[in-house]
Structures are given as C-alpha cells and as structure tokens.
C-alpha cells in the first residue's frame, strides 16, 4: 500500500502562497512587501481553482507564486528595509524623550539610502528590454510632472519628473523619432520609434489637477521611484548613442520664466572647435558628423560587391527622391480590397516642417505644439513673451513667420471696438498686426489640428480646410484603420451608403413632416412598408436574430427543429409583403407603362384632356428603393441556398459571424443616418 498524500502539500496548493504567509516568511511589514514586489516586478496571480489552493475556502485572498516569494529571500533590499525599520525605532524613541537634535542627526546620517541600479540591470538585461517597458513609465512620469505640489507629492519628485521628461523629449526631437500623435479626451497620445521599438505614452492636458482622497500615493510613489531610475538610465544611453553629453546643461533662470524645452542646452561630444549648443534655430553639428561616421562604418564593413551595390542604390535613391512622388494603390472596383499604402520615408517626415517659421498665438497649447513642430524639422518657433522664455521671436509682425497657429473665432470688424491709428515707431517700423483685426499678407493662418493631421498622414494638408472659424475635418486615431463595411467619416456618404439607403431616408423624413389626422391614417401602410424597408437595409439577413446560434448546450434534434421552423417562418414572411398603397406594386414596369398609354388613348378618343402624371421625388425614391430591396432579396435567397449545403455545425458558426456583421452594419447605418441629418440641417441653415 502506497503512502497517502497529505492534502495541500502538492499540486496547485504548493505552487501558490497567500500574501499573509509571504509577509510572515519574509519578516517585513505589508507596505515594505508591496514596495519590494513593485521593484522586483512580482504581481499577484489568480489560480484556476481557488478551492484547491485555499484548501476549500472561498474567501477573497491574494495569491502569489511560491517560486517568486522564494526568489525574494536573498534580496539585498530586505536588509535595507530592516535597517530602515531599526533606525525608525531609534528616531521614535528619541522623539519620545524630547531629543529632537538626536532624532534629526539619526535621520540625516543613519537612514539607509536605497539604490535601484542592480534591480534595473536585473530586470532589463538588454537595452531593448528597457525600451519595451517604457510606455507605462513615460505615462506615469508625465502625469506626475503635471500634478500640483501636495504633502503626498513633494515638489522634488515633480521637478525630477519634469526634468527627465524634457530630456526624453529633447532626444525625440534630435533623433526625429516621433511618428504619430492623437488628441483624445484623456490627453495627447504620442508614438515614437526608437531603435525599432514603438513607444506609446499619454500626456495629460494642462488643466488644474485635483487629487482625490481615495488615491494611494504611497504605491504610486513607489512606481515613480522605480520609473525615474529607469528613465534616467534610458536617457543616458540614448544621449550617448547620438553623441550628446548627458545630462544636458540646465538653465534654472530660463526654467523659472517658463522656458521648459528652452531651458536645456544640448552639447555634442568630440567636436574639435568646441561644444555646440542646441537652441531654437540651430542643431549640433556633432550629431550630423556622428551619424555620417556611423553610416560610413556600416558601408566599410560590407564586402566589396555589397559595398558597390549599396553605394549605387544610395545614389539612385538620392536622385529619385527629388523627382518622383510616392505611389499610391487605388482600388479598381468599389468592393475591391484596400491595399496598404506606401508611407513617406523617415527623412521626409523629419523635414516636414523644416522650411516654415511658426508663430503660436497665446490661446494655443505651447508645450505640445513646440514639441511636435521641432520633432518634425521646424527650427524656428515663436510665441508671445507671456507664454515663456526660449522663443525664436516674440514679435507677431515678424516677416519671417510663414504660419501662425490660432485657436479663436474670426470676429467681424463691426463687432470689434474702434482702435485709434497707431503711430509709427521711432525706427519707422510698422505697427504690430493683431489677430483677428488684421492679418499679415503672405502668412498662413491655421488651427492647431492642422499640425496633428499633417504628421499623422505624413504630408502637408490644405491649410484652407483648417482656417480660423472653419469647420474642421474629423480628427481620427491614426492607430485605428477602418475596415470594410465600417463607417468612415473621411469618405463621402455616397461612397459608403447601400443602394436605396438615401431614398429610404428621404421617405422617412417626408413622412415625419406629414400632417396629423387623415393623412396619418392614409399613410399607415406606407409607414409599415418603410419600416420594413429600413429593417431590410439594416439587417440584410433577416433570419439571424440577436443571440441566435450562441447556445452550444442544445441538443441536435432541438436545433434541427428550430432551424426548420425558422425556414418556414422566413418563407411565409417572404410571401407576405403587407398592404400596398399602390395597386400597381405587383405589376411589372412595362405593364404599368402599357396601362398608362391605354388610359391616355381612351381619354383622347372621348375628348377629355389628360394631365400627364410627372414622376415625383417620392415615386422615384420608391422605385429605386423597391429595386434595391428586390436585389437584396435575391442575394439573401441565394445565400440561404448556399447555407443549406453546409453541415449543421458550420451553419451555426456562420450564423454567429452574420450576427456580428449585422451588428456592425447597423451601427454604421445609424452613424450614416446621423451624419445625413447633420448635413441636411447645416445646408438648410446656410440656405436661410
């Protein structure tokens, strides 16, 4: 007889450990345990069967992997936590005796300092691993950089987060690694590609932040402590990889005046004539020389044959860049597949705004616009002096400005107060031109969305579509590509709507505007037909109901009977079309024309004048709608015949697919209907 195993000593019960047992084994407090787990990257786990793990108990319990807790037994940070606890007891004892000086001395000299350098190297063996985990770090640090100073969030932490974030933004500007950005309700999303890794982070808007009392800032502060160390290592590696000195020089006076990015001066290494500083208007020559040297080293390392081929390809590429534009793949048919379009090269994106000089009005967000414009090649960005230090120019009337970004409506001159003629200055310069009273000739005035849409599409868009007070085009996420059948606000309705959908909408609007009373009673059959038509447009396959085919536990006989009943009901529904308001609905078009011609001949023989019935808009719409409905019915019948040839299981799977497709089509149809109403209201308002 074998040995009987004791319950809870093997299997899942041994692989998991509760948080209470883990804290007792490590002999530390619960806050220190949480802090240690955050530093080491150990998180709670959810077992598959909680009863087996907790020995039959169903209480809410937090579990960890036993192997992860054993991994923490020999962690050097445990000794630091224990030393900190011992010094805290001594400080408390000194304060209890009233020895404030001794307590201050103990806190200053005996509190152990925790360094996370070894943990960073342990969690990220390679630099690419650190870049992959940089999304959450940047989002957290940018959040704390915009928080106000409170007892829970000290000012030193905020200043450190701001410095690290601005240093990272400077690298993105110098390397031109920013690819996309999106304005959302939560904030501004940015995506940069650094060494082949896509990094996405969120920057909140600069509104007044109010911290709620239910936020545990101790846990968030632990994450910030780890992320600041991580970003410091990453910034050092990024700066040294492009030949820059880290940390960059920091001008405290410029930072106090709101310089932000302008408060840092980047310096290049290895320049014989001295260090070159990066300011608003120039770039370090060391970076260009280092990049050229790196490319030369790559070419020199290649074999002779590959070197000649590479050189020839580089020469051909340089010649073709200025003469040929990017090819685009246009679909040959309306229902054809959409091919991925070629995108602009990184060199073209890096110089997208290079030829221009921008001026930011006071109402525009200076920080994100300055960052994006400089990241895409703009060397000269000016703004009003009240927005901070570091502008290329603070004179709004500067003739070098080519684009001015404004975010206020253009007012009529009659609504503006009268302003006396401004006298000329002593130097003979013209007075400043103030928007919206006057505009500088030759300058392009645009709204901020133009900048974001240009970088997302990789080209310069028409500025007249983004003029002040103009109705802006939809600002869509660059990471969501509309698939076939979904609503796309960038495409006109005529290219998206189904056949007969516009006519059905017009009939619906006409019937809604009809008078009450007898007209409502007379139009009742038409309304029923209209609802049926709209339902046929929204739900192409009327045999699929919501949730149908989702029950997998039903028996085969029940499912077969239910399918036969559905087919019978559908056949009856196809035969019964309801009452028709027109007696000629069951007659072909040729028969209708023949009868109309016969009535005209009889009236002419009797000497009675016959008024020719001109086709109205409603009749035309009904004709187009019925033709589209007939075509859809034929397609549905053909689809049903094809479904009958499938096995039962595949038929169920197809019904689930059709259910999702119908749901997507219904949402798209609702959005198109909403857009059609908005366009109709705007056109009527313009007509008035």
Residue 307 in tokens: 């070197």
* Among the ranges given (49-53, 100-104, 300-304), the one the predictor scored with the smallest mean pLDDT: 300-304
Q: Answer yes or no: is 5 within a domain.
A: no
In this prediction, residue 49 carries a pLDDT of 83
Average pLDDT over residues 27-31: 91
Residue 595 in tokens: 């009868």
DSSP code at position 417: P
Q: Are strands 249-250 and 188-194 parallel, antiparallel or unpaired?
A: unpaired
Cα-only R_g, the chain: 36
Beta strands in 43-146 (DSSP E): 63-65
Q: Is the pLDDT reported for residue 578 higher than 50?
A: no
Q: Answer yes or no: is 173 within a domain.
A: yes
In this prediction, residue 173 carries a pLDDT of 94
Q: For residues 515 and 649, state if they share a domain.
A: yes
Residue 157's nearest CA partner among 72, 97, 223 is 223
* Among the ranges given (151-160, 262-271, 575-584), the one the predictor scored with the smallest mean pLDDT: 575-584
Average pLDDT over residues 56-62: 81
In this prediction, residue 120 carries a pLDDT of 94
In this prediction, residue 508 carries a pLDDT of 67
Average pLDDT over residues 507-530: 50
Q: Are strands 197-203 and 403-405 parallel, antiparallel or unpaired?
A: unpaired
Q: pTM to 2 decimals?
A: 0.69
Q: For residues 571 and 674, state if they share a domain.
A: yes
- Tell me if 211 sits within 8 A of 152, measured CB to CB: yes
Q: Is the pLDDT reported for residue 618 higher than 80?
A: no
State residue 466 phi and psi, 5-degree precision: -120, 25
Q: For residues 406 and 501, state if they share a domain.
A: no
Residue 234 in tokens: 């990453």
Calpha distance 613→596 (Å, rounded): 10
Average pLDDT over residues 2-14: 73
In this prediction, residue 328 carries a pLDDT of 55
In this prediction, residue 409 carries a pLDDT of 80
- Tell me if 454 sits within 8 A of 351, measured CB to CB: no
In this prediction, residue 605 carries a pLDDT of 79
Q: Is the pLDDT reported for residue 646 higher than 70?
A: yes
Q: Look up tokens 């009797």; give the residue.
A: 606
Calpha distance 369→362 (Å, rounded): 12
Residue 352's nearest CA partner among 462, 479, 473, 451 is 451
Calpha distance 304→285 (Å, rounded): 30
Q: Domain boundary residue among 287, 311, 330?
A: 287
Q: For residues 92 and 167, state if they share a domain.
A: no
Per-residue confidence at 566, pLDDT binned at 50, 70, 90?
Answer: low
In this prediction, residue 21 carries a pLDDT of 92
In this prediction, residue 633 carries a pLDDT of 82
3-state secondary structure 619-642: HHHHHHHHHHHHHHHHHHHHHHHH
Q: For residues 155 and 105, state if they share a domain.
A: no
Q: How many domains does the chain have?
A: 4
Calpha distance 206→353 (Å, rounded): 25
Q: Supply the CATH number for residue 378's domain.
A: 3.40.50.10190
Q: Are strands 444-446 and 403-405 parallel, antiparallel or unpaired?
A: parallel
Q: Answer yes or no: is 478 within a domain.
A: no
Q: For residues 512 and 458, state if they share a domain.
A: no
Q: Answer yes or no: is 345 within a domain.
A: no
Sequence length of the chain is: 688
Q: Look up tokens 């290079």; give the residue.
A: 354
Q: What residues form DSSP beta bridges with 383?
A: 360
Helix (H, G, I), strand (E, B) or coil at 192: strand
In this prediction, residue 341 carries a pLDDT of 52
Tell me how far CA of residue 518 lies from CA of 315, 512, 523, 524, 583, in angstroms: 81, 14, 8, 10, 20
DSSP code at position 45: B
Residue 112 in tokens: 């152990």
State residue 329 phi and psi, 5-degree precision: -100, 110
Q: For residues 459 and 499, state if they share a domain.
A: no
State residue 337 phi and psi, 5-degree precision: -70, 145
Per-residue confidence at 543, pLDDT binned at 50, 70, 90?
Answer: very low
Calpha distance 41→473 (Å, rounded): 44
Calpha distance 220→225 (Å, rounded): 9
Q: Look up tokens 């890096």; give the residue.
A: 350
Helix (H, G, I), strand (E, B) or coil at 588: coil
In this prediction, residue 484 carries a pLDDT of 72
Q: For residues 86 and 135, state if they share a domain.
A: no
Q: For residues 124 and 251, state if they share a domain.
A: yes
Q: Domain boundary residue among 109, 131, 163?
A: 109
Average pLDDT over residues 206-231: 88
In this prediction, residue 202 carries a pLDDT of 96
More confident residue, 29 or 597: 29
Q: For residues 452 and 499, state if they share a domain.
A: no
What is the signed CA dihedral for 98, 102, 106, 109, rounded to 10 degrees?
160
Q: 3-state SS of the chain: helix, strand, coil percent to 5?
A: 50, 5, 40
Q: For residues 388 and 513, state if they share a domain.
A: no
- Tell me if 254 sits within 8 A of 390, measured CB to CB: yes
Average pLDDT over residues 141-146: 94
In this prediction, residue 306 carries a pLDDT of 41
More confident residue, 63 or 302: 63
Per-residue confidence at 2, pLDDT binned at 50, 70, 90?
Answer: low
Q: Is the pLDDT reported for residue 382 higher than 70?
A: yes
Residue 221's nearest CA partner among 287, 151, 269 is 151
Residue 365 in tokens: 């967000």
Tell me how far CA of residue 398 lies from CA of 282, 385, 460, 571, in angstroms: 19, 14, 23, 76
In this prediction, residue 550 carries a pLDDT of 39
End-to-end CA distance of the chain: 97
Q: Answer yes or no: is 335 within a domain.
A: no
In this prediction, residue 549 carries a pLDDT of 39
State residue 182 phi and psi, 5-degree precision: -150, 135
Q: Domain boundary residue among 267, 287, 307?
A: 287
Q: Answer yes or no: is 303 within a domain.
A: no
Per-residue confidence at 488, pLDDT binned at 50, 70, 90?
Answer: confident
Across all residues in the chain, what is the average pLDDT?
75
- Tell me if 204 sits within 8 A of 189, measured CB to CB: no
Q: What percent of the chain has pLDDT above 90?
A: 33
Residue 194's nearest CA partner among 137, 144, 131, 251 is 131
| Domain membership of residue 33 as a residue range | 12-109
Residue 518 in tokens: 């007898």
Q: Answer yes or no: is 391 within a domain.
A: yes
Residue 320 in tokens: 């073709």
Most confidently predicted of 176-190, 411-425, 666-680: 176-190
Calpha distance 522→504 (Å, rounded): 19
Q: What residues form DSSP beta bridges with 446?
A: 405
Q: Answer yes or no: is 61 within a domain.
A: yes
In this prediction, residue 449 carries a pLDDT of 94
User: Which strands, in side-by-side order, build the sheet including 380-383?
Assistant: 380-383, 357-360, 403-405, 444-446
Q: For residues 145 and 254, state if they share a domain.
A: yes
State residue 529 phi and psi, 5-degree precision: -65, -35
């Amino acid at each position: 007889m074998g040995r009987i195993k004791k319950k809870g000593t093997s299997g899942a019960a041994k692989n998991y450990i509760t948080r209470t047992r883990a804290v007792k084994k490590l002999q530390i407090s619960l806050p220190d345990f949480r802090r240690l787990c955050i530093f080491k990257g150990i998180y709670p786990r959810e077992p598959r069967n909680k009863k087996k793990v907790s020995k039959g108990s169903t209480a809410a319990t937090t579990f960890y992997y036993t192997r992860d807790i054993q991994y923490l037994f020999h962690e050097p940070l445990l000794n630091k936590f224990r030393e900190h606890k011992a010094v805290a007891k001594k400080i408390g004892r000194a304060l209890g005796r009233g020895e404030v000086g001794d307590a201050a001395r103990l806190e200053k000299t005996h509190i152990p300092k925790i360094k996370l350098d070894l943990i960073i190297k342990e969690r990220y063996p390679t630099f690419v691993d650190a870049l992959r985990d940089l999304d959450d770090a940047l989002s957290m640090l940018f959040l704390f950089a915009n928080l106000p100073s409170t007892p829970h969030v000290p000012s030193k932490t905020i200043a450190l987060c701001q410095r690290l974030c601005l240093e990272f933004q400077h690298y993105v500007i110098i390397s031109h690694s920013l690819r996309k950005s999106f304005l959302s309700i939560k904030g501004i999303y940015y995506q940069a590609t650094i060494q082949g890794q896509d990094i996405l982070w969120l920057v909140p808007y600069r509104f007044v932040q109010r911290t709620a009392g239910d936020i545990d800032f101790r846990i968030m502060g632990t994450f910030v402590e780890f992320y600041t160390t991580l970003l410091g290592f990453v910034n050092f590696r990024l700066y040294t990889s492009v030949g820059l000195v880290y940390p960059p020089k920091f001008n405290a006076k410029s930072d106090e005046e709101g310089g932000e990015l302008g408060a840092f001066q980047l310096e290049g290494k290895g320049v014989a004539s001295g260090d070159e500083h990066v300011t608003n208007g120039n770039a370090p020559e060391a970076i260009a020389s280092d990049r050229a040297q790196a490319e030369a080293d790559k070419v020199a390392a290649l074999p002779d044959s590959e070197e000649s081929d590479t050189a020839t390809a580089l020469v051909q590429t340089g010649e073709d860049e200025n003469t040929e534009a990017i090819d685009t793949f246009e679909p040959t048919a309306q229902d054809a597949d959409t091919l991925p379009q070629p995108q602009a090269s990184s060199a073209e994106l890096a110089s997208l705004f290079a030829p221009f000089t921008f001026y930011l009005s006071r109402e525009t967000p200076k920080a994100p616009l300055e960052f994006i414009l400089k990241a895409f090649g703009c060397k000269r960005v000016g703004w009003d002096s009240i927005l901070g230090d570091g502008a290329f120019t603070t004179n709004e009337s500067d003739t070098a400005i080519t684009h001015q970004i404004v975010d206020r409506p253009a007012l009529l001159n009659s609504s503006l107060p009268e302003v006396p003629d401004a006298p000329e200055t002593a130097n003979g310069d013209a007075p400043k031109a103030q928007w919206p009273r006057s505009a500088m000739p030759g300058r392009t005035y645009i709204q901020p969305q133009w900048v974001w849409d240009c970088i997302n599409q990789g080209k310069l868009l028409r500025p007249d579509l983004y003029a002040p007070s103009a109705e802006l085009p939809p600002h869509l996420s660059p990471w969501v590509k509309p698939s076939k059948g979904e609503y796309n606000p960038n495409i006109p309705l005529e290219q998206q709507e189904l056949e007969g959908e516009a006519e059905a909408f017009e009939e619906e609007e006409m019937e809604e505007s009809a008078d009450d009373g007898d007209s409502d009673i007379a139009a009742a059959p038409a309304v029923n037909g209209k609802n049926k038509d709209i339902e046929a447009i929204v739900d192409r396959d009327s045999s699929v109901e919501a949730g149908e085919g989702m029950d997998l536990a039903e028996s085969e006989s029940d499912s077969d009977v239910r399918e036969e009943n559905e087919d019978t009901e559908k056949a009856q529904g196809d035969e019964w079309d309801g009452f028709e308001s027109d007696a000629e609905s069951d007659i072909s078009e040729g028969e209708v024309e023949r009868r109309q011609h016969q009535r005209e001949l009889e009236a002419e023989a009797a000497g009675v004048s016959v008024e020719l019935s001109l086709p109205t808009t409603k009749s035309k719409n009904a004709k187009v709608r019925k033709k589209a409905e007939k075509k859809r019915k034929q397609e549905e019948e053909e689809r049903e015949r094809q479904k009958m040839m499938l096995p039962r299981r595949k038929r169920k799977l197809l019904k689930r697919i059709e259910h999702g497709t119908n749901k997507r089509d219904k949402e798209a149809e609702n959005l198109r209907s909403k857009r059609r109403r908005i366009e109709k209201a705007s056109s009527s308002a313009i007509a008035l």
